[in-house]
Amino acid sequence: MIIQTKSDIFPSEITPKSVFDNRREFIQKAGFGLIAGAAGLLSNPLKAATVSSGTTEGAGRLIGRANTQAIIKPQSFGAHQKISGYSKTTYGAGEKLTAYEDITTYNNYYEFGTDKDEPAKNSRLFKPYPWTVSIEGEVKKNKTISIEDIYKLAPLEERIYRMRCVEGWSMVIPWIGLPLAQLIKWAEPNSNAKYVEFVSLADKQQMPGQNLQVLDWPYTEGLRMDEAMNPLTIMAVGLYGEQLPNQNGAPMRLVTPWKYGFKGAKAIVKIRFVEKMPVSSWMKAGPNEYGFYANVNPNVEHPRWTQSSEKRIGGGLFAGRIKTQMFNGYTEQVGQMYAGMDLRKNF
Amino acid sequence: MLAFLKNSPSKKQITWIKVIVFLVCLIPLLRLVWLGFADNLTANPIEFIERSTGFWALFILLATISLTPIRLLTGRVWQIQLRRMLGLFMFFYVCLHIITYVWLDFAFDWLDITKDIAKHPRILVGFAAFLLTVPLALTSSNSMMKRLRERWKQLHQMVYIVAILAIVHFWWLVKKDIREPLLYACILMVLFGIRIYYKYMKNHKSINSTQINNL
């Protein structure tokens, strides 16, 4: 078991304070972003070239590829920046997307407050760029990577995934990201690495919700190595064609669509490869309510919320509930990882 | 203005106060209707209505319970005349809360509703609180008051149990941020504490006086 002491993570350790506080650079970048963004609006040849024609979800075929680095303009970062050069996939074909408005105003992100509408309001001054992620633990060698380099690590893909919250509601979100497996390949974990731990930013200045000790900050989540390497698992950097809004976990968050939403750690600053199963923030907060796996499972009840059915956000007042599917409907892709496991015990 | 607070209002004034309180108690409902037509009930409108009606039911319940402590503290009694209306408004918002749950949330799927009540202590406690408000509402008329006499008082003290259950129901809803239910629990404890204190003082005084008499 990994016992994390408070001294483990200093914000200064993650992003040098000098860089963080360098307003001039930030303003410069924002200015550059505006110009580049305007240019992007005028001509976006890549997006036009990758129009979706998918029909079946299946294994999530890639349709239209745009990995010729030469023609991708340098990404600029900031609120509402369009992401240039991502390819569409067949994931989520036929699903009705949840409205952008709903996805960005109804968030569980306790770093910015415990009410659903608070993250959108309280994250306005959050600065997701520049950003550095450190790679630690059972790896060939500790290293860091900037968010710019993560964008270039692998071709970005749009993945339309269902998201099921443990509270009994769900959305369909067009994420943009890269397979976590690509990032792990770059991180070069050694053979002792059995689990991956994700650590979110701890910074009371930028995240006012952290002044309240509702969870053991920083927010921590984890995956088993095979779960992390599963093709379904992505590091999302955007949604609806734009860079992630702050309230959705900018600049980078985990997305595991067959697990309850709280597994998706946001604003990740540290990825640590470990031998023993990490203890997540929610496991510490309620060990009998939140397990390590947190797989969507209509057959395992939660003490507070019905898990056999869910409300799809955007359905209006009279839509009723829909049946929750095993592994949120992704059994084909992830079921084999849990063969022989008692999912009642390993909830 | 101060004179109005000092003296008991006249019969006519009481009527006006009642009309105003009645209209004020309708505001939470009108707000929901307004937000509904403006398509402004957040991304999860059903949850919003459940939360809102639940909150106002609890708020009005605490307001109802506060009337007697106000009498004990200030010696004024006229506000007791608002008790029935406030109590019935509490029941009104409880009913809206239940209707939202049964209709909008669960679309009258009685099997799912039964399972939800049986499997989740939070829902069970809320359901129990609702069941206890029904006899209170049914016996709120003057004729029932006369018929039940002393037992009416005992029956209506059950409102404290309803309040405790309602706050527990709220407490178990929040995942980790317990500030709001904690606040209501504190308010209830203060209100209940005032009643206990006065009851104790009264007994104390009467014991003292009997002792003096015996001397």
Q: Chain B partners of A110 at a C-beta cutoff of 8 Å? A: 176-177
User: Which among A117, A303, A321 has CB closest to B42?
Assistant: A117
Is B175's Cβ below 8 Å from some Cβ in A? yes
- Are B104 and A317 inside 8 Å of each other by CB? yes
- Are B173 and A285 inside 8 Å of each other by CB? no
Is B176's Cβ below 8 Å from some Cβ in A? yes
User: Does residue B98 fall inside a structural domain?
Assistant: yes
Helices (H), A145-199: 147-153, 180-187
Is B109's Cβ below 8 Å from some Cβ in A? yes
Is B118's Cβ below 8 Å from some Cβ in A? no
CB B18 within 8 A of CB B25: no
User: Does residue B42 fall inside a structural domain?
Assistant: yes
Note down the domain range covering B182: 2-197
The whole-angstrom distance between residue B111's C-alpha and the CA centroid of its chain comes to 30
User: Does residue B215 fall inside a structural domain?
Assistant: no
Question: In one letter, which amino acid is A45?
Answer: P
Residue A7 has pLDDT above 80, yes or no: no
The whole-angstrom distance between residue B154's C-alpha and the CA centroid of its chain comes to 16
- pLDDT above 90 coverage of chain B, percent: 83
Tokens found for residue A48: 């036009």
The per-residue pLDDT for range A223-238, each reduced to its tens digit, is 999 999 999 999 999 9
Is B122's Cβ below 8 Å from some Cβ in A? yes
Mean pLDDT of A65-81: 63
Indicate whether this complex's ipTM tops 0.90.
no
- pLDDT above 90 coverage of chain A, percent: 75
Chain A residue with CA closest to B172: the answer is: A304
More confident residue, A267 or A79: A267
Q: Chain B partners of A309 at a C-beta cutoff of 8 Å? A: 112
List Cα–Cα distances, A196 to A12, A122, A153, A261, B33, in angstroms: 22, 29, 19, 17, 48
Residue A57 has pLDDT above 60, yes or no: no
CA distance A130 to A149: 11
CB A105 within 8 A of CB A120: yes
Low-confidence ranges of chain B (pLDDT < 70): 1-6, 203-215
Residue A36: pLDDT band by 50, 70, 90 thresholds? Answer: very low
Pairs of CB atoms within 8 A across A/B: 67
Ordered by start, the domain boundaries in chain A are: 6-289
Q: Chain B partners of A321 at a C-beta cutoff of 8 Å? A: 105-107, 109, 112
Tokens found for residue A205: 């200045």
Q: How far does A73 lie from chain B, in Å, by closest CA?
A: 35
User: Does residue B208 fall inside a structural domain?
Assistant: no
* Residue B121, domain CATH: 1.20.120
Specify the pLDDT at position B153: 92
| Size of chain A, expressed as the number of residues it contains | 347
Nearest to A6 by CA among A189, A187, A204, A287: A204
- Are A314 and B112 inside 8 Å of each other by CB? no
Helix (H, G, I), strand (E, B) or coil at A268: strand
Specify the pLDDT at position A54: 40
Residue A129 has pLDDT above 80, yes or no: yes
- Are B115 and A308 inside 8 Å of each other by CB? yes
Q: How many CB atoms are closer than 10 A to CB A279?
A: 18
**Tokens 């509490």 -> residue:** B90
**Tokens 């920046």 -> residue:** A81
A181 CB-side CA count, 13 A: 8
- Are B43 and A102 inside 8 Å of each other by CB? yes
The per-residue pLDDT for range A93-114, each reduced to its tens digit, is 999 999 999 999 999 999 999 9
Q: Report A:90-129 residues touching B (Cβ under 8 A).
A: 99, 101-102, 105-106, 110, 114, 116-117
Mean pLDDT of A48-70: 48
Q: Domains in chain B: how many in total?
A: 1
Question: In one letter, which amino acid is A99?
Answer: A
Specify the pLDDT at position A40: 40
Across chain B, mean pLDDT equals: 91
- pLDDT above 70 coverage of chain A, percent: 79
Helix (H, G, I), strand (E, B) or coil at A342: coil
User: Which among B46, B112, B120 has CB closest to A317?
Assistant: B46
Chain B residue with CA closest to A304: the answer is: B120
HEC string of chain B? CHHHHHCCCCHHHHHHHHHHHHHHHHHHHHHHHHHHHCCCCCCCHHHHHHHHHHHHHHHHHHHHHHHHHHHHHHCCCHHHHHHHHHHHHHHHHHHHHHHHHHHHHCCCCHHHHHHHHHHCHHHHHHHHHHHHHHHHHHCCCHHHHHHHCHHHHHHHCCHHHHHHHHHHHHHCCCCCCCHHHHHHHHHHHHHHHHHHHHHHHHHHHHHHHHHHHHC
Q: Chain B partners of A114 at a C-beta cutoff of 8 Å? A: 174-177
* Bridge partner list, A242: A82, A239
The whole-angstrom distance between residue B68's C-alpha and the CA centroid of its chain comes to 13
- Are A317 and B174 inside 8 Å of each other by CB? no
Across chain A, mean pLDDT equals: 85
User: Does residue B191 fall inside a structural domain?
Assistant: yes
The per-residue pLDDT for range B180-205, each reduced to its tens digit, is 999 999 999 999 999 999 988 876 66
Tokens found for residue A239: 């949604």
Q: How many CB atoms are closer than 10 A to CB A314?
A: 20
Q: How far does B175 lie from chain A, in Å, by closest CA?
A: 9
Specify the pLDDT at position B8: 81
Specify the pLDDT at position B4: 54
Nearest to B65 by CA among B136, B144, B171, B150: B136
Specify the pLDDT at position A253: 98
The whole-angstrom distance between residue B104's C-alpha and the CA centroid of its chain comes to 24
Specify the pLDDT at position A78: 77
Residue A32 has pLDDT above 50, yes or no: no
Pairing of strands A156-164, A86-89: parallel
Q: Chain B partners of A314 at a C-beta cutoff of 8 Å? A: 43
Residue A167: pLDDT band by 50, 70, 90 thresholds? Answer: very high
Residue A82: pLDDT band by 50, 70, 90 thresholds? Answer: very high
Residue A80: pLDDT band by 50, 70, 90 thresholds? Answer: confident
**Tokens 């898990």 -> residue:** A307
Specify the pLDDT at position A79: 76
CA distance A158 to B205: 77
User: How would CATH label the architecture of A6-289?
Assistant: Alpha-Beta Complex (3.90)
Residue A43 has pLDDT above 90, yes or no: no
Specify the pLDDT at position A76: 80
